Chains A and B, each alone.
Chain A
Amino acid sequence: MKSILESIELTKIFKTGKIEVAAVRDVSIKVREGEFIAIMGPSGCGKSTLLHLLGGLATPTSGRVLVDGEEVSSGKDAVRTDIRRRKIGFVFQRFNLLPTLTAQGNLEIAQEIHRNGSRDRQHVDEILNLLGLEKKTHHKPSELSGGEQQRLAIARAVINKPAILLADEPTGNLDTRNSMVVLKMIQELNRALSQTILMITHNPEAAGIASRLIEMRDGKIVSQQREGEWNAAEDRMSL
């Protein structure tokens, strides 16, 4: 399968006065089409920074990022924005929905940005029905529960069929029941639609649904395990 996302020796150093902090150090990852990767690690290990670099929200100090063959690590904001628009969908812990628009409006604006103005109302309705939000079409985010907001955020992220979905702690703000619903939805996207997903999480249960687990520490990848490998390891630990 072809590579959808690739980072090559990616490094990000933040400078505060004379102090330099390396948030991400020489990270090389290859994500294949249809793969579902979970990245775990303690707070401050550089997971979110890595996600921002992979999604073109930030530029690396060194190294490269290729999304579907296009370099997103260029310094030019317009180039990164364009690739983000065409190839990447984001899901955040804080949902990040536009508060003044309805559920339908939040989906339509994503379409409008993606398609340079045009919208597909039918597709919006299909997605809302699929997520069980058909009765909440005209509700604003503040009128939705946390779980509903996150489902809507996922819908927005995938409505334009991105090459890769980048999720940053998608269950971090949700209770157990809603977390399960959201995780199931993400898993379904990967299984049924072969959506390539890279998800950051603290939650081992969430990581459990991924096909590959990457562990980070101090800005570096310390281990990578394929599905089954870490289950076996966990089983050994629990024994």
Chain B
Amino acid sequence: MSARLVLSNVVSRPMRSLATALAVGVEVALILLLVGLSTGMIRENSKRMSGVGADIVLQPPNSSLVLAASTGAMSVKIADLVSRIEGVKAVAPVYLQFNTSGGMGLLWGIDPESFDRITQGFIYLEGKGFQGPDDVIIDDIYAHGRELRLGDDLKLMNHSFRVAAIVEHGKGSRVFIPLGTMQRLVGTPGQATMMMIKCHQPSDVAGVQARLASLLKSYPTFDMTSFAAHIEEANRDFGPLKYFTNTVVSIATLIGFFIIFLSMYTATTERTHEIGILKSLGAPQGYISLLFLKEALVLGGLGFVLGLGLTFGGRFFFRLLMPTLQHQLPGEWLFYTGSLALFSAGLGALYPALRAARQDPIEALAYE
């Protein structure tokens, strides 16, 4: 019956209930969209890294697995050295640069010949590859998202490029420019930020890694089978992203808390007379507190469901407006967000519920 009283109270004030649940829903959607976007981007990047087809990645000393934040570089001449190591089939120097002009993203500077040896070549949907230093190769998702066609101009790193080819997505980056052009634009001639290495035998990866370690002691190497997982982990633990996510989650939870607090505080004032009635019936303080806590939890739960709806709606619009943005909902975050919505609802209702329970029965009954 108390459950029916809780539900009837929720239903009898539909606008207040809806507004409160919607506010909690915004809290939930804010968290899920942010986490979903960052997870989607990280997973998409690591998936594309795996799609290159390399067995080992070699990075310069003191570089970061958060590729966009890595500033370390090494000489491309190391590629020759590495190619002579026993078991190495091919080496491709790559220069990665985070680009902010004309949209944010990671650009790859590649040497097409060596890169093709690793990847078995791009699958060209249009065009044939680099024809000149100012040519750019883009993948189909990037082309579709920006409505680019062969021969179109594309401004990257404050430099104008011509779309020379559109390739099938899934091999490293969405945007590739010639390695030499990249080195010139960044001002680091003869440098690369990573080497993609292909082994003769996949079973010899550990052996090649050991030989690389003895030759290039301070250069970290990663087995590609675990590299994607390393990248995901590193990005998740990446300071600025982590703090940003935590800050948004905290603010969203606080908003949920205050909305529920305000709503339940108003509800306890509105229902002072009803509290008096329950007290006259002999309802103990715990019973009355629980009524309001349950109502807040119902609103929190309703808010969570609305939040899921808002999240999927948001996802739909992201896909429609920005096809290159990937959004993935990690299952554990559904659980965390649901728990946060209920936690903030329960916490927000705690003081109003205790206040309601402590009302003087006569004053409450006399309340108009």
Give A residues with C-beta under 8 Å from B.
52, 55, 57-58, 77-78, 81-86, 88, 90, 92, 96-101, 105, 108-114, 119, 156
Contact = CB atoms under 8 A, between A and B. Distances in A.
A113 B282 CA distance: 7
23 contacts: A55-B280, A57-B280, A57-B361, A57-B365, A81-B283, A84-B279, A85-B281, A88-B282, A90-B281, A92-B280, A96-B280, A96-B365, A98-B5, A98-B277, A98-B278, A100-B5, A100-B11, A105-B4, A105-B5, A109-B281, A112-B1, A113-B281, A114-B282
A88 B5 CA distance: 22
A78 B282 CA distance: 9
Contact of B362 (A57, A86, A97, A110): A57
Given A85-B282, A99-B274, 9 more contacts: A57-B362, A77-B285, A85-B283, A96-B273, A97-B277, A98-B5, A100-B9, A109-B278, A113-B282
Nearest to B278: A113
A97 B278 CA distance: 9
A97 B8 CA distance: 14
Contact of B8 (A77, A100, A156): A100
Contacts of A110: 281
B5 A84 contact: no
Given A52-B362, A96-B365, A100-B12, A81 B284 contact: yes
Contacts, number: 77
Contacts of A99: 12, 274
Contact of B276 (A84, A96, A114): A96
Contacts of A82: 282, 284
A202 to B, nearest CB: 18
B1 A105 contact: yes
Contact of A78 (B9, B276, B284): B284
B101 interface: no
A108 B3 CA distance: 12
B4 A96 contact: no
A57 B365 CA distance: 10
Nearest to A162: B282
Contact of B5 (A96, A109, A119): A109
Contacts of A85: 281-284
A8 B2 CA distance: 37
B280 A90 contact: yes
A228 B287 CA distance: 46
Given A90-B280, A96-B280, A81 B365 contact: no
A-B pairs, top 5 by smallest CB distance, nearest first, are: A85-B282, A100-B8, A84-B282, A112-B1, A100-B12
A155 to B, nearest CB: 13
Interface in B326-368: 361-362, 365
Contact of B4 (A52, A78, A101, A111): A101
Contacts of B277: 96-98
A109 B280 contact: no
A84 B280 CA distance: 7
Nearest to A58: B362
A108 B4 CA distance: 10
Contacts of B274: 98-99
Contacts of A77: 285
Contacts of B281: 84-85, 90, 109-110, 113-114, 156
Nearest to B10: A100
Contacts of B280: 55, 57, 84, 90, 92, 96
B2 A109 contact: yes
Interface string B276-299: 111111111101000000000000
A85 B2 CA distance: 16
Interface string B286-317: 01000000000000000000000000000000
A60 to B, nearest CB: 13
A39 B4 CA distance: 37
A52 B11 CA distance: 33
Contacts of A108: 1
A55 B276 CA distance: 13
Most buried by A among B9, B12, B280: B280
Interface string B72-111: 0000000000000000000000000000000000000000
B289 to A, nearest CB: 13
A113 B287 contact: yes
A134 to B, nearest CB: 19
Nearest to B357: A77
A184 B6 CA distance: 35
Contact of B285 (A78, A92, A113): A78
Contacts of A119: 1
Most buried by B among A81, A82, A105: A81
Contacts of B362: 52, 57-58
B282 A109 contact: no
Nearest to B8: A100
Interface in B2-27: 2, 4-5, 8-9, 11-12
